[in-house]
Amino acid sequence: MCGICAYKTKENAVKFAVESLKILEYRGYDSCGISFLKNGEIETVKSLIDIDDLKKKTENKTSNLVIGHTRWATHGGVTLKNAHPHLSSSNKIALVHNGIIENYKTLKENLNCAFQSETDSEVLVNLIESEKGSLIEKVISASKKVEGTFAIAVIENGELVVGKRESPLYVAYFDGGVVATSDISAFVGNVKEFYILNDNEFASLNENKIEFFNENGEKIKKNAEILPKITQNFKIFDKTHMESEIKETKIVLKNTLKEYLNSSVFSDLNLPKNIKEINLIACGTAFHSALMGAEFFKEQGINSHTYVASEFRYGREILNKNALYIFVSQSGETADTIACAKLLKEKKMHLLALTNTPNCVLNRICENVLPTFAGKEFAVASTKAYCCQVFVLFIFSLFLSQKLQDNIDELIKFTNEFQIQDFDKDLLNKISSFQKIFFVGREKDYITALEASLKLKEISYINSIAIPAGELKHGTLALVDENTLVIAISTEKNVREKLLSNLEEIRARGGEVVLVSNFSCKDYIKIPLQAMHENFMPIVSIIPLQFFALRMCEKLGYNPDKPKNLAKSVTVE
């Protein structure tokens, strides 16, 4: 993962770089650092705390040439030595890297120099130093020896070179000079147009001139793209991003519906005729919304399967030229999902990206795009974007079965009446000491259980599992005792009685049951849900469970926005 940036400017670029890193922090926050040129020498400042700490440490620093990095550790622990930027053994070249050099061990063995860190990136900067020619020539020839992925920015003797394979990288002019970053939202300064680097393309950046090169070192011409203006006028300000974002769900669902009813999203699609099969591919929370989507499609008679991207890529799936393949991703940058999209594009399948980020990599790969209008998500735990994904997949299933028009009133009614429901404080106090937590449900409620369990693990570090309620008796019931809390979700009418029998089996073994349901039931501690049409219940029921994870996390004194070991965008395989 990681985020990188580079600036070559007329005025001091240090503050620009630090500002960009603050925006890129969602890509990893294990450590951060910058290198800059000062009186012909490279100076480096790093922090193991956060970007604000880096800002303090660099307040008095000035330079016209700066590279910066925010890290999600892959090779080597979270230490200052492993933090980027990395310097070559002569200290003449500094590099920041996002990606993984897979053959770094072999390369390292062949380089005759001393290494300071355990990283693959330090191998790359020394490999570059060992090559011959100008900086751009050295970077390009080193890249040929490298297996794996990279977006890099490299400085030497006042020169700045960037390049990429798989990991994203964008470059631009702005009124103060030139900039390169992992994400267009991290351009600081007045950028109007930007350039997308494709795989195995490189650029040499001078204050007022950017030259592009292909992997053979030949100069190439590239067309600029207009920088989209992303305005978000509905931000709710609460003490954490996660809390604000859960609370924004109502507004963003309304916005999403408005966009789908008023704009040309559906008429712009170029879909195969008479779709009989839809396959959805995604990771993490987006995988759960994909599972929900598959249920909606099946309800409309469309055969549907769901795949975890990291498994699909190396699997043995039999492809169907008439099927539609949907890639669900909040960021549109997730490496595993992107790899699947590229693979299926090569095989000429019909692709659709369901993303929350305009201009993202996934949108550029897929011929069709369905946006979710959730606004930017900052918290690592995805909440409002998940609800929007589920909502858009439901709307799309109605569109495909030509039932959208008939359901518009129902959709509007839902977005008007739906209420955000926090987790009951007294109940939280009563159950917060359980260390063994199961989430159970049947059918769509089981998918909600999966998502609720992921949220809890992700931010409160409490081990929990989600299991279809009917499956408990086939093994997992052995774990149930008086130390077990079972949170059961019940919104599916046709399996309600079956679920209640499953809960009796838990209670008979001493397990504590909390029922999250819109049905009446006096037998269990209950979190009563607002009653809505069954297909909206996955959204209604996940909200108090997102809050459950959040409140548990707060009770334990953790920061929900930056859980340990994770990052918002997972841009490595």
Q: Does 381 bind ligand M6R (CB under 6 A)?
A: yes
Q: Please state the closest distance from residue 214 (CB atom) to ligand M6R, in A.
A: 29
Q: Which stretch binds ligand M6R (CB under 6 A): 66-74, 240-248, 324-332, 346-354?
A: 324-332
Which residues between 436 and 475 bind ligand M6R (CB under 6 A)? 454, 458
Tokens read off for 483: 């130390």
Nearer to ligand M6R (CB atom), residue 115 or residue 378: 378
Of 2, 283, 360, 553, which residue is the catalytic one? 2
- DSSP three-state, residue 154: strand
Q: Which stretch binds ligand M6R (CB under 6 A): 3-11, 374-382, 421-429, 496-504?
A: 374-382
**For ligand M6R, which residue has the nearest CB?**
284
Q: Please state the closest distance from residue 549 (CB atom) to ligand M6R, in A.
A: 9
Nearer to ligand M6R (CB atom), residue 210 or residue 570: 570
Q: Where are the alpha helices (DSSP H) in 25-58?
A: 51-57
148: DSSP letter: B
How many residues sit in the footprint of ligand M6R (CB under 6 A)?
16
Nearer to ligand M6R (CB atom), residue 3 or residue 284: 284
Q: Does 119 bind ligand M6R (CB under 6 A)?
A: no
Among 88, 279, 285, 541, interactor with ligand M6R by CB under 6 A: 285
Q: Please state the closest distance from residue 450 (CB atom) to ligand M6R, in A.
A: 11
What is the Cα 339 distance to its own chain's centre? 14
Compute the distance between CA of residue 185 and CA of residue 181 in angstroms, rounded to an integer.
Answer: 9
Residues in the chain: 573
Q: Find the angle CA(80)-CA(84)-CA(89) to the nearest 5 degrees.
A: 90
Q: Which stretch binds ligand M6R (CB under 6 A): 239-247, 280-288, 316-324, 485-493?
A: 280-288
Q: Work out whether the CA dihedral 448, 454, 460, 463 comes out positive or negative.
A: positive
Nearer to ligand M6R (CB atom), residue 9 or residue 256: 256
Compute the distance between CA of residue 329 and CA of residue 307 in angstroms, rounded to an integer.
Answer: 13
Q: Does 74 bind ligand M6R (CB under 6 A)?
A: no
Q: Please choose, from the candidates 455, 540, 456, the residue with its C-alpha nearest in 3D space to the C-alpha of residue 490.
A: 540
Among 181, 304, 382, 448, interactor with ligand M6R by CB under 6 A: 382
Nearer to ligand M6R (CB atom), residue 205 or residue 380: 380
Strands 193-196 and 170-174 turn out to be antiparallel
Torsion of CA 45, 51, 56, 60, to 10 degrees: 50
Q: Does 283 bind ligand M6R (CB under 6 A)?
A: yes
Q: Does 197 bind ligand M6R (CB under 6 A)?
A: no
Among 2, 452, 570, 572, interactor with ligand M6R by CB under 6 A: 570
Of 8, 247, 455, 568, which residue is the catalytic one? 568
Which residues between 490 and 509 bind ligand M6R (CB under 6 A)? none
Q: Does 331 bind ligand M6R (CB under 6 A)?
A: yes
Peptide bond into 85 cis (omega under 30): yes
Q: Does 240 bind ligand M6R (CB under 6 A)?
A: no
Catalytic status, residue 2? yes
Which residues are CB-neighbours of 517 under 8 A, at least 6 positions away?
A: 488, 489, 490, 491, 526, 527, 528, 529
Among 168, 176, 189, 284, interactor with ligand M6R by CB under 6 A: 284
Q: Does 185 bind ligand M6R (CB under 6 A)?
A: no
**b/e sequence 366-384, b meaning 16+ C-beta within 10 Å:** bebbbbbbbbebbbbbbbb
Compute the distance between CA of residue 3 and CA of residue 7 in angstroms, rounded to an integer.
Answer: 14
Q: Which stretch binds ligand M6R (CB under 6 A): 161-169, 177-185, 375-383, 493-501?
A: 375-383
Beta bridge partners, 156, equal: 93, 159
Q: Please state the closest distance from residue 347 (CB atom) to ligand M6R, in A.
A: 21
Q: Which stretch binds ligand M6R (CB under 6 A): 105-113, 330-338, 430-438, 534-542?
A: 330-338
Nearer to ligand M6R (CB atom), residue 20 or residue 330: 330
Strands 324-329 and 350-355 turn out to be parallel
Q: Please state the closest distance from residue 170 (CB atom) to ligand M6R, in A.
A: 18
Q: Does 310 bind ligand M6R (CB under 6 A)?
A: no
What is the Cα 430 distance to its own chain's centre? 33
Q: Please state the closest distance from residue 333 (CB atom) to ligand M6R, in A.
A: 6
CA distances from 423 to 70, 394, 483, 489 (A): 34, 26, 21, 14
Catalytic status, residue 521? no
Q: Which stretch binds ligand M6R (CB under 6 A): 163-171, 278-286, 392-400, 465-473?
A: 278-286
Q: Does 545 bind ligand M6R (CB under 6 A)?
A: no
What is the Cα 105 distance to its own chain's centre? 29
Nearer to ligand M6R (CB atom), residue 80 or residue 230: 230
Nearer to ligand M6R (CB atom), residue 129 or residue 458: 458
Q: Does 329 bind ligand M6R (CB under 6 A)?
A: yes
Count CA within 13 A, CB hemisphere, residue 7. 31
- Report DSSP letters for 257-316, one per residue: HHHHHHSSTTTT--PPSS--EEEEEE-HHHHHHHHHHHHHHHHTT-EEEEEEHHHHTTS-
- DSSP three-state, residue 553: helix
Radius of gyration for the chain, computed over Cα atoms and rounded to the nearest angstrom:
25
Cβ neighbours around 178 below 10 Å, total: 24
Among 330, 363, 484, 546, interactor with ligand M6R by CB under 6 A: 330
Compute the distance between CA of residue 54 and CA of residue 49 in angstroms, rounded to an integer.
Answer: 8
Q: Does 337 bind ligand M6R (CB under 6 A)?
A: yes
483: DSSP letter: T
Q: Please state the closest distance from residue 328 (CB atom) to ligand M6R, in A.
A: 7
Active site residues: 2, 568
In the complex, which residues of this chain contact ligand M6R (CB under 6 A)?
283-286, 329-331, 334, 337, 380-382, 454, 458, 569-570
